Amino acid sequence: MSGGAAGRSWVLHGPALLRGSLRVPGDKSISHRALLLGAIAHGVTEIRGLLRSEDCLATLGAIRALGVEVFEESGDLLRVHGNGPEGLRESETVLDVGNSGTTLRLLAGLLAGQPCFSVLTGDASLCRRPMRRIVDPLRAMGATLLGREDDSFPPLAIRGRDLTGIAWTSPVASAQVKSAILLAGLQARGETSVTESIASRDHTERMLTAFGVTPRRAGNRVAISGGSRLDAARLTVPGDLSSAAFFLVAGAARPRGELRIEEVGVNPTRTGILDTLAEMGAQVAVERSREEGGEPVADLAVAGARLRGVRIVAERIPRLIDEIPVLAVAAALAEGETVIEGAGELRVKEVDRLTAVQEEMGRLGAAVSVTGDCLRIQGGGRLRGAVVSSRGDHRMAMSLAIAALFAEGETTIRDVACVETSFPGFARQLSVLAPDCGLREVTDDV
């Protein structure tokens, strides 16, 4: 797996202006769900714009290993031949999903209701990520799950069973947990519901509707009836706002910066980054808003400004959970202090992102401190080029590249192969939009 593998670095220098217009690759969360729901639907699901990154290809590989035929058609079209949940067959091998937490957790929910034995594993980073959050509810529904360290970490072994619906109150606001339970719930007797304290992204719920099954929603509770039949859908995956976020920050933080990104998903459970950049003083315009396959899509235009620090409260965190590393870059460039509260979930992402942001941004001269679950960034200082590391985390690699555009002198970012997990082509797009940064990729001396 190249996700997390060392060996390649980016060398670039600042200050460099980023401007122009672009499209970003398909949404990662939506791509995973399109493949997984297509795999258990009846008929041929057509997917356009699927993100072909390592994480989503891990999901594709897994459904193929479970006996689902997937055909790559010409152009951008992919066809998934589903035969309902009964159409899945036991995989002959361990399902290795690389770096992808979404694949592992959602697949665990799907396989919990299948009459088969499955073993799910991943790379070193994924094997350190917490799984009790899905093991506990799936067990409560009747499945048998085992994992390392008292069932806390992958590899996970799953013996699927006849499941019974549950009413689960999730201790974490996590779309991966919610979706795993809903996928199990589709195969369970009776109703399954999930209640969260703060609503997480709702792509699963929206996509279920596109497949003909509409979950019942009330506040932060979502419920589904077991045994509901999914019918194949035609889907177009919008651009990933989490990928767009890197460029948005670069455009927003430069007073003369101007940037336009077309066809981006703007699901309100994901748009915390847009609200926050606007609060920081950037002009963010959401244009040509429309809906595709139940997901809001728009073009985004950003005009840069001298940003100011803000306070981000815990209730907003799920709406920008993946954007915090790049928001920390915006905060370092802003006037005044930014406080990000309730960010503890960042400790259990691909790496401990609170520590990674503090230490790696610190090497570039940013004043970042972490107290408990709270990240504080004292803005206004000058960033200077340095040697930093992604630590094998794609979002860290790309956030550091954006920081490097604003840093005086040369920055080397080690361990950038991980960017392939979510954003193939990022470096190429950055080079086009910010040609003065002179980005080049080099092989690390080992």
Catalytic residue numbers, as ranges: 322
| CA-CA-CA-CA dihedral for 199, 33, 23, 297, to nearest 10 | -50
User: Considering the complex, what minimum distance in angstroms separates the CB of residue 102 from ligand S3P?
Assistant: 4
Nearer to ligand S3P, 108 or 321 (CB): 321
| CA-CA-CA-CA dihedral for 39, 41, 42, 47, to nearest 10 | -70
Residues shown for the chain:
446
The CB-nearest residue to ligand S3P is 29
User: Considering the complex, what minimum distance in angstroms separates the CB of residue 176 from ligand S3P?
Assistant: 4
Nearer to ligand S3P, 183 or 282 (CB): 183
**Per-residue burial over 109-148, b = 16 or more CB atoms within 10 Å of its CB, e = otherwise:** bbbbbbeeebbbbbbebbbbbebbbbbebbbebbbebebe
Question: Which residues bind to ligand S3P, rule: CB under 6 A?
Answer: 29, 32, 102, 174-176, 179, 200-201, 321-322, 345
Q: Which residue has the tokens 């392939």?
A: 420
User: Considering the complex, what minimum distance in angstroms separates the CB of residue 320 from ligand S3P?
Assistant: 10
Q: What is the DSSP string of 221-282?
A: EEEEETTPPPB--EEEPPBPHHHHHHHHHHHHTSTT-EEEEEEEE--TTTTHHHHHHHHTT-
User: Considering the complex, what minimum distance in angstroms separates the CB of residue 267 from ligand S3P?
Assistant: 11
Tokens read off for 181: 């339970």
| Phi, psi angles (nearest 5°) of residue 365 | 100, 5
Tokens read off for 293: 């396959």
User: Considering the complex, what minimum distance in angstroms separates the CB of residue 285 from ligand S3P?
Assistant: 26
Nearer to ligand S3P, 337 or 345 (CB): 345
Nearer to ligand S3P, 309 or 325 (CB): 325
Nearer to ligand S3P, 349 or 414 (CB): 349
**Cis peptide bond upstream of 435, omega within 30:** no
Give the contacts of 445 (CB within 8 A, at least 6 positions apart).
none
Q: What is the DSSP string of 68-85?
A: -EEEE-STTEEEEEEE-G
User: Considering the complex, what minimum distance in angstroms separates the CB of residue 24 from ligand S3P?
Assistant: 15
Nearer to ligand S3P, 9 or 102 (CB): 102
In contact, 171 and 127? CB cutoff 8 Å: no
In contact, 103 and 60? CB cutoff 8 Å: no
Nearer to ligand S3P, 122 or 385 (CB): 122
Q: Which residue has the tokens 């949404």?
A: 27
User: Considering the complex, what minimum distance in angstroms separates the CB of residue 129 from ligand S3P?
Assistant: 9
